[in-house]
Amino acid sequence: MLAVNVIDRSLKALARRYPKPFVKLVLGSTKGVAVATIENPEINLPERRLDFVYGLRLDDQEYLLHLEFQLQHETDLPERMFTYNALLTAAYRRPAISAVIYLARQEYRRLPEAYAVTFRSRAVHTFTYRVIRLWEYEEAIAGGELKELAPLLVLLAENGKEEAALARTRELVLAIGDEKHRADALSVAITVAARYFSRDFLLEFFKGEMEMLQEASIVQEWINEGLERGRKEGLAEGLEKGLAEGLEKGRKAGKLEGEIETLQRDIQEVLEERFGRVKKGMGKKLAAIDDPAVLRSLLKKSVRVKSLEEFARLLEEV
């Protein structure tokens, strides 16, 4: 999970540094809205951590804005959004606005925007939340309207256009006036790009900015080890070694993680297409499998099984 965790940390750093574009994505405008970050928001759900929470004030009313970042959809997400919202409201005694931001461009048939409790085929309770498909804002980001989100452009690019998106990312990042902010934005951009490009490509692509990264706080843990080993060879070599190791780890983990996510999603879609909605428990068991060979075998079997119950028995044998 290294690559996902690195991207998760980078996104949180970006959200902390630039709150207004994220708030604007959800609310449409930040006019008259005061925004503050809620650091380490606590809810009584120890097995789950919230991605990001802002405190908002409009006139005399205070709100919370809760954001969940998703590289891909997870079947239990609607229920989690309902739970998070309820617990945040209870913990902070403020109304909470909830939103999911889907980061990577994918072709979804449908993305749920609500959690519903049904009884005898009737919805008796419904909780809705905002769904943001970030790729729908690609033009606004590349055009500068939401330029603070430029490090994420590669995630939003159509297949085959990732390198052009990376070039535009570099242009927008290098235009940032504050040196520290510029270095942090660059480190996020490289972290995200490591899911799509090799280490050697990224080192060559950003070779002119390599020294700038010593000012970045986000990837400092990547650099420190390389700095220590490379100190005798000079600062530039140490930086390059530390970053190279981090990129290589991110690339390998990202490739494996991407394969696992794709297989899990394909199995889920095959089962839903054949048998309808997949129960949450089955989705969780499927999400817990991180062996690509096992998932490839399950994908083949998902096409042949005669019922969800038969597939559930196969999962129990894994």
Categorize the per-residue pLDDT at 203 as very low, low, confident or very high, splitting at 50, 70 and 90. confident
Of 4, 100, 82, 101, residue with least CA distance to 43: 82
Over residues 11-33, the mean pLDDT reads 89
Contact 302, 289 (CB under 8 A): no
The backbone torsions φ and ψ at residue 130, rounded to the nearest 5 degrees and listed phi first, read: -75, 140
With a cut of 60, say whether residue 43 has pLDDT above it: yes
Categorize the per-residue pLDDT at 232 as very low, low, confident or very high, splitting at 50, 70 and 90. very low
Residue that has been written with the tokens 């650099």 in this structure: 223
With a cut of 80, say whether residue 81 has pLDDT above it: yes
Contact 106, 159 (CB under 8 A): no
Lowest mean pLDDT among 161-175, 188-202, 215-229: 215-229
Task: Considering only residues 257 and 279, tell me which one the structure prediction assigns the higher pLDDT.
Answer: 279
With a cut of 90, say whether residue 230 has pLDDT above it: no
Contact 227, 242 (CB under 8 A): yes
Task: Considering only residues 74 and 275, tell me which one the structure prediction assigns the higher pLDDT.
Answer: 74
* pLDDT for the residue numbered 259: 75
List Cα–Cα distances, 133 to 83, 199, 258, in angstroms. Answer: 22, 28, 19
Mean pLDDT, the chain, whole residue set: 82
Domain layout of the chain by residue ranges: 2-136, 149-253, 258-317
Percent of the chain's residues with pLDDT above 90:
35
With a cut of 60, say whether residue 316 has pLDDT above it: yes
Q: Using one digit for the tens of pLDDT, what is the confidence trace for 90-137? A: 989 999 999 999 998 888 888 999 999 998 888 899 999 999 999 999
Over residues 256-272, the mean pLDDT reads 79
| 109 burial via Cβ count (<10 Å: 0-12, 13-18, 19+) | exposed
Categorize the per-residue pLDDT at 276 as very low, low, confident or very high, splitting at 50, 70 and 90. confident
With a cut of 60, say whether residue 305 has pLDDT above it: yes
At 28, list the tokens.
Answer: 């449409």
Over residues 49-70, the mean pLDDT reads 92
Contact 192, 173 (CB under 8 A): no
* pLDDT for the residue numbered 184: 85
* Second-level CATH architecture of 2-136: 3-Layer(aba) Sandwich (3.40)
Q: Using one digit for the tens of pLDDT, what is the confidence trace for 129-148? A: 999 999 999 999 999 999 99
Q: How far apart are CA 7 and CA 15, in angstroms?
A: 12
